[in-house]
């Protein structure tokens, strides 16, 4: 506490001096979220905040694709990341060049990219989606054939949801997966249910379709948070990154969580010390820069999401 408190105070002072805001994803450490963050939430909410921001500096405590998205939406701000190594197994699974090759194979497909993708991939896509709006956006697209990148498991979940809704879509996908969410299994859920009667299982759409099929609720981290806060149950099993459980333990202390969540090594690269350093004197690799032509093309696909999102 003696180390965290002065650092927290210093970062809050630096924010005022530099006209900076700190956007924090729910997976980062609580001392960042609650100690220095201005906004906390999921990818969609944080994109909205980046788009509305008038601040000179945006520090993105999340992962690099989120900071790139902030730069696409707020090009005049200096956008910095605490750690340039904070990648994402989904975003890093496919390049813009590979998307171009897939587009040649499926020229009649509408290209839908999950927001967990690089600016290059967004620039090649027709519309961006997040975990909170993916089903509704895909269902309402006029195209029958969808090329979905980069999450293979989310694509499978979309396929199952379209079938459930009676919407005819052919979903073709690339092969990325999230290193956190692809590890959860139906057997783990069955075991937990046997041990904890009345348990509610809450999963993210990056989980496998087998997991999604037996969960009580599937949604974005923002929707998972709301579901737990508004649902009466003796226990919850959270099939997502442990940071979300951390947030719920603070914001809904009356709820009981049983083990299951996993750590994202990329999100956990964010520390208060690195946030301070990124504010004081960001190194070149911590500053997000994008070619203007590429940024404008990537912006089109994100703006399309804002138009189509429910
Ligand atoms: P959310 O937008 O639901 O927070 O998901 C982001 C993410 O990276 C999940 O692994
Ligand atoms: Fe990427 Fe998975 Fe980490 Fe989310 S939890 S940032 S999808 S690696």
What residue owns the CA closest to ligand 2's atom 8? 88
DSSP character string of 133-165: THHHHHHH-S-SEEEEESBHHHHHHHHHHHHHH
- List, for residues 285-310, the tens digit of each pLDDT value: 999 999 999 999 999 999 999 999 99
Is the beta carbon of 206 within 6 A of some atom in ligand 1?
yes
Which residue's CA is the closest to the ligand 1 atom numbered 6? 43
Q: Is the pLDDT of residue 130 over 90?
A: yes
* Closest approach atom of ligand 2 to CA 181: 2
> Which residue's alpha carbon is at the smallest distance from atom 6 of ligand 2?
88
**Annotation: CATH topology of 4-88+268-289:** Rossmann fold (3.40.50)
Tell whether ligand 1 has an atom less than 6 A from the beta carbon of residue 220.
yes
Residues 257-289: b if buried by 16+ CB within 10 A, e if exposed: bbebbbebebbbbbbbebbbbbbeebeeebebe
Long-range contacts of 73-80 (CB under 8 A, 24+ apart): 73/47, 73/299, 73/302, 74/50, 75/290, 75/292, 75/295, 77/53, 78/282, 78/287, 79/287, 79/288, 80/278, 80/279, 80/282, 80/286, 80/287, 80/288
The rounded mean pLDDT for the chain is 97
CATH 3.40.50.10800, the chain: domain bounds: 4-88+268-289, 91-177, 181-263
Give the CATH superfamily of 91-177.
NadA-like (3.40.50.10800)
Closest CA to 25 of 215, 222, 171, 282: 222
Nearest partner of 156 among 164, 201, 22, judged by Cα: 164
What is the pTM assigned to this prediction? 0.97
- The distance in angstroms from the start CA to the end CA of the chain is 42
Q: Span 181-263: which CATH code?
A: 3.40.50.10800
Q: For residue range 156-183, list pLDDT tens digits in order.
A: 999 999 999 999 999 999 999 999 999 9
Do 50 and 74 form a contact (C-beta atoms < 8 A)? yes
* pLDDT confidence bin for 2, thresholds 50/70/90: low
CA–CA separation, 2 vs 308, rounded Å?
47
Asked if 72 contacts 121 with a C-beta cutoff of 8 angstroms, the reply is no
CA angle 224, 194, 246 (to 5 degrees): 30
Tell me: the pLDDT tens digits for 75-128? 999 999 999 999 999 999 999 999 999 999 999 999 999 999 999 999 999 999
C-alpha span between 298 and 106 (Å, rounded): 20
**Pocket-forming residues, ligand 2, beta carbon under 6 Å:** 63, 88-90, 116, 178-180, 206, 241, 264, 266-267
């Amino acid at each position: 506490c003696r180390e965290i408190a002065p650092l927290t105070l210093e970062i809050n002072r630096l924010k005022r001096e530099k006209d900076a805001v700190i956007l924090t994803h729910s997976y980062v450490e609580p001392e960042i979220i609650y100690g220095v963050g201005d906004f906390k939430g999921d990818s969609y909410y944080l994109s909205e905040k980046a788009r509305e921001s008038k601040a000179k500096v945006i520090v993105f405590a999340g992962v690099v694709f989120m900071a790139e998205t902030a730069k696409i939406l707020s090009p005049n701000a200096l956008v910095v990341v605490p750690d340039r190594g904070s990648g994402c197994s989904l975003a890093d699974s496919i390049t813009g060049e590979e998307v171009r090759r897939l587009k040649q194979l499926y020229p009649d497909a509408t290209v839908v990219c999950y927001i967990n993708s690089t600016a290059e991939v967004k620039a090649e896509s027709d519309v961006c989606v997040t975990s909170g709006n993916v089903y509704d956006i895909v269902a309402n697209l006029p195209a029958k054939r969808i090329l979905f990148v980069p999450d293979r498991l989310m694509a499978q979940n979309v396929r199952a949801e379209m079938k459930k809704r009676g919407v005819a879509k052919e979903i073709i996908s690339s092969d990325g997966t999230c290193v956190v969410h692809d590890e959860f299994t139906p057997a783990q859920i069955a075991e937990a249910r046997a041990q904890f009667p009345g348990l509610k299982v809450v999963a993210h759409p990056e989980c496998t379709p087998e997991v999604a099929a037996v969960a009580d609720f599937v949604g974005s981290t923002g929707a998972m948070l709301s579901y737990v806060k508004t649902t009466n149950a003796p226990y919850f099993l959270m099939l997502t990154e442990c940071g979300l459980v951390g947030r719920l333990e603070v914001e809904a202390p009356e709820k009981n969580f049983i083990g299951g969540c996993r750590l994202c090594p990329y999100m956990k690269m964010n520390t208060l010390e690195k946030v301070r350093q990124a504010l004081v004197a960001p190194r070149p690799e911590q500053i997000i820069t994008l070619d203007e032509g590429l940024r404008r093309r990537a912006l089109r696909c994100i703006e399309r999401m804002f138009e189509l999102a429910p």
